[in-house]
Structure 1
Amino acid sequence: MDSQEKLYSPISGYTILALCLIVLFSSILLLIGLRIPHFVFGVVLGIAFIPGFFFVNPNGSRVLVLFGKYVGTVKENGFFWVNPFYTRKKISLRARNFDSERVKVNDNIGNPIMISVILVWRVRDTFAAAFEVDDYENFVRVQTDAAVRKLAGSYPYDNFDDEQAEITLRSGLDSVNEHLEKEIEERLSIAGIEILEARIGYLAYAEEIAGAMLRRQQATAIVAARHKIVEGAVSMVEMAIAEIGKKEIVDLDDERKAAMVSNLMVVLCADKDITPVVNSGTLHH
């Protein structure tokens, strides 16, 4: 969208204030001293100038409108005076934070999740913010909520159900945040809004499935840990049998090797302490 914003350079308020005070007090003194009614117009004129004064703070602006016609935007800081018939709409140019509410949506594979976004934004085009949308602050809130809902439906929460997913909401935050920022910027460009940063502020499974998903994650972690334990145990058993045979500590036939492998695997893979049984007889009893 092409910007229709145009800068307006108002008159210094100090100059007009000095002239206004001179006219006002001179008219009052002449009216009292000479008692000429015509000087009343000077008093009225001095009072009529007063509504034209205004301030513009740093990173602030005033959008000027005359009877429905856009005159321009004052972005210069200071004390100014303009035509008293101008309406002046204040628009801040400062960066603002917006922390959206947590909304319940479905991810790419249908799981209900809770998600919110943190947005840093500011007004870039005062004309668009003032006239292209009805309320630009509410527009930011509504469009951000819509962008978050669309984003959540574009990715799975994790890759437990979709192992082929390269980017997920939980693991691919950089890519997801970049997508989110682009999506919000496209939606808010009509209102002259510039996005400085957009990122996911909260992400979790919805309450009704959170318990089940936690148990699934725990089960997955246990399986992964057991897999590592078994791999290590097999290596240790293999090394033990090899060392026994190499040093000729005892001659193990296949039956004894099988018994030793079984006992060592039980000891190494058990999740509880093993109580050994001491054999006081021979190897065969």
Structure 2
Amino acid sequence: MKEEKIIKVPNGYFMLFLSLVLICGGIYGFVTFDMVFVVAVIIGIFLLPGFFLVNPNTSKVLLLFGKYVGTVKDNGFFWANPFYTKRKISLRASNFDSERVKVNDKLGNPIMISTILVWRVQDTFKAAFDVDNFENFVRVQSDAAVRKLASLYPYDNFADEGLDEDITLRASVNEVSEALEQELSERLAMAGIEVLEARIGYLAYAQEIANAMLKRQQATAIVAARHKIVEGAVSMVEMALDELSKKNIIDLDEDRKATMVSNLMVILCSDKDATPVVNTGTLT
């Protein structure tokens, strides 16, 4: 037997009624000294350990002297062989928030990362017998999966690294979550665990490099902003020269064009407001 087997067991209310009848008859036998009724009460008491409840989204795994008999997933009050060992396994969705672990990303940068996992038992046989403790198995494999995932992707995509990655841990939330979910599904399948959702719960650089990486990100953002400013300034200067030339407002030689371009670029690219100077003389 290497797979889950769903079984049906007798209704517990009927067997409870039968047990009560046998016990009451046995009590009457003690009074009348009738040995037949004494045997009846013994049988009635023997039947009592066979009763059990199955609550919603739970199951009972039944064993007979170490041999797997089957799993009861129906909800209600039931009776089974009193010699059966009954193990309860929850089928409810469980939420697991792993501890923050320090790992190295694809570039070797130390980062702190944790995962949030939503899972439930799908195969009670595998959960009960293929692993020692399926709940601890989920915790250990979740840590292993998130460590492996962090080593496959960089935390962020920096141009100076010469790395052109489409997927990063910080920016590609959906892609990383799908990869993590697939990795966990493969790891937890042997324990009969179904992964409902997996995603990164916490992500940050490790404390020893956090300040340096923050400055690096700020510098990258400043360079990108300056690049956009220069592009816009060049376009504006080019447009100004074209408009002046088309409308014949002023005839500028190459030296004056160079001076005008220089002044406009300084004004447009400066991070401070320019101070205007009024020229009251001539251009000659």
TM-score by length of 2: 0.93
Residue of structure 2 equivalent to 1:44: 42
Cα shift at 1:43? 2.7
The 8 Å contact of residues 107 and 113 in structure 1, kept in 2 or not, is answered as yes
Q: Secondary structure in 2 aligned to 1:166?
A: coil
Residue of structure 1 equivalent to 2:27: 28
Once residues 258 and 210 of structure 2 are traced to their aligned partners in structure 1, the CA distance between those partners, rounded to angstroms, is 45
Code of the aligned partner of 1:31: F
Report the more deviating stretch, 242-251 or 210-219. 242-251
Report the more deviating stretch, 15-24 or 199-208. 199-208
Report the more deviating stretch, 132-141 or 214-223. 214-223
Residue of structure 2 equivalent to 1:103: 101
- Residue by residue over 1:172-205, the C-alpha shift from the partner in whole angstroms, topping out at 9 and shown as x without a partner, is 3333222222211121111111122222222221
Residue of structure 2 equivalent to 1:187: 187
1:109-258 paired onto structure 2 within 5 Å: 109-160=107-158, 161-258=161-258
Once residues 59 and 253 of structure 1 are traced to their aligned partners in structure 2, the CA distance between those partners, rounded to angstroms, is 86
1:59-74 paired onto structure 2 within 5 Å: 59-74=57-72
Code of the aligned partner of 2:10: I
The 8 Å contact of residues 53 and 82 in structure 1, kept in 2 or not, is answered as yes
The 8 Å contact of residues 95 and 122 in structure 1, kept in 2 or not, is answered as yes
1:264 paired with 2:260, answer no
Once residues 242 and 129 of structure 2 are traced to their aligned partners in structure 1, the CA distance between those partners, rounded to angstroms, is 83
Once residues 70 and 248 of structure 2 are traced to their aligned partners in structure 1, the CA distance between those partners, rounded to angstroms, is 98
Once residues 144 and 122 of structure 1 are traced to their aligned partners in structure 2, the CA distance between those partners, rounded to angstroms, is 14
Code of the aligned partner of 1:102: R
Structure 1 regions of 5+ residues with no counterpart?
none
Code of the aligned partner of 1:16: M
Code of the aligned partner of 2:49: P
Once residues 175 and 279 of structure 2 are traced to their aligned partners in structure 1, the CA distance between those partners, rounded to angstroms, is 62
Cα shift at 1:36? 4.3
Residue of structure 2 equivalent to 1:90: 88
Report the more deviating stretch, 14-23 or 234-243. 234-243
Once residues 5 and 279 of structure 1 are traced to their aligned partners in structure 2, the CA distance between those partners, rounded to angstroms, is 92
Once residues 221 and 124 of structure 2 are traced to their aligned partners in structure 1, the CA distance between those partners, rounded to angstroms, is 53
The 8 Å contact of residues 121 and 127 in structure 2, kept in 1 or not, is answered as yes
The 8 Å contact of residues 23 and 45 in structure 2, kept in 1 or not, is answered as yes
Q: Secondary structure in 2 aligned to 1:153?
A: helix
Structure 2 regions of 5+ residues with no counterpart?
none
Once residues 71 and 237 of structure 1 are traced to their aligned partners in structure 2, the CA distance between those partners, rounded to angstroms, is 84
Q: Secondary structure in 2 aligned to 1:70?
A: strand
1:9 paired with 2:40, answer no
Once residues 61 and 193 of structure 2 are traced to their aligned partners in structure 1, the CA distance between those partners, rounded to angstroms, is 16
Cα shift at 1:11? 1.1
Once residues 162 and 58 of structure 1 are traced to their aligned partners in structure 2, the CA distance between those partners, rounded to angstroms, is 55
Cα shift at 1:53? 0.5
Cα shift at 1:162? 4.6
The percent of aligned pairs where both chains have the same amino acid is 68
Code of the aligned partner of 2:5: K
Cα shift at 1:257? 1.6
The 8 Å contact of residues 156 and 162 in structure 1, kept in 2 or not, is answered as no
Q: Secondary structure in 1 aligned to 2:17?
A: helix
Report the more deviating stretch, 157-166 or 93-102. 157-166
TM-score by length of 1: 0.92
Cα shift at 1:241? 2.0
Once residues 37 and 245 of structure 1 are traced to their aligned partners in structure 2, the CA distance between those partners, rounded to angstroms, is 125
Code of the aligned partner of 2:224: A
Code of the aligned partner of 1:282: T
The 8 Å contact of residues 3 and 125 in structure 1, kept in 2 or not, is answered as no
Aligned length: 282
Once residues 235 and 175 of structure 1 are traced to their aligned partners in structure 2, the CA distance between those partners, rounded to angstroms, is 37
Once residues 65 and 254 of structure 1 are traced to their aligned partners in structure 2, the CA distance between those partners, rounded to angstroms, is 97
- Residue by residue over 1:138-183, the C-alpha shift from the partner in whole angstroms, topping out at 9 and shown as x without a partner, is 1011011101101111111122135222322223333322222221
1:57 paired with 2:64, answer no
Once residues 217 and 257 of structure 2 are traced to their aligned partners in structure 1, the CA distance between those partners, rounded to angstroms, is 37
The 8 Å contact of residues 5 and 73 in structure 1, kept in 2 or not, is answered as yes
